[in-house]
Amino acid sequence: MAYIRKETQKCLRVDYRITPVAIEDAIHAYLDEDELARLIATLVRDPTIGRKTGEDYDHIAGDLRLRYRIHQASPDLMMVYVLRIYRRQQDARLSGLMAQGARAVGNLALDVVKSRIKALLKEDN
């Protein structure tokens, strides 16, 4: 959870949710926990960093494209839903490969990612 201070508002809380599909995408894109945590922490710090495409937003970071949605849950709470993570250009070396035990790795890594996001957001405060 992060807090955004704006001139027009006292304080706006920002929280995030990562969809299971986005976790699978991160595994298939061969992201490690640190890379995924940095990407999500960037979105939580400034949810409007991406370009609006319909209901969703696209954020490009290096060769990654993140698709996410912003939802105003209450007057003081904004939710950022990370929907998909894509590589903009497929690496020929990774073509057709799949991580062994991707579901187990995803389940184990999610706790690590959440703790690293929390640590990154605390650094900013």
Collect all residues with Cβ–Cβ distance below 8 Å to 10 and sequence separation of at least 6.
76
pLDDT confidence tier of residue 104, bands split at 50, 70 and 90: very low
Structure confidence by residue, pLDDT tens digits, 30-70: 888 888 999 999 998 888 889 999 999 999 988 899 999 99
Q: Is the pLDDT assigned to residue 26 strictly greater than 80?
A: yes
pLDDT confidence of residue 91: 56
Instruction: Give, in words, the CATH class of 2-90+100-124.
Output: alpha beta
CA–CA gap between residue 57 and residue 75 (Å, rounded): 21
Cβ(39)–Cβ(25) below 8 Å: no
DSSP helix/strand/coil, 8:
coil
pLDDT confidence of residue 8: 46
pLDDT confidence tier of residue 5, bands split at 50, 70 and 90: low
pLDDT confidence tier of residue 125, bands split at 50, 70 and 90: low
Structure confidence by residue, pLDDT tens digits, 61-102: 888 999 999 999 888 889 999 999 988 776 555 544 444 444
Domain extents for the chain? 2-90+100-124
Instruction: Give pTM, 2 decimals.
Output: 0.75
Cβ(110)–Cβ(117) below 8 Å: no
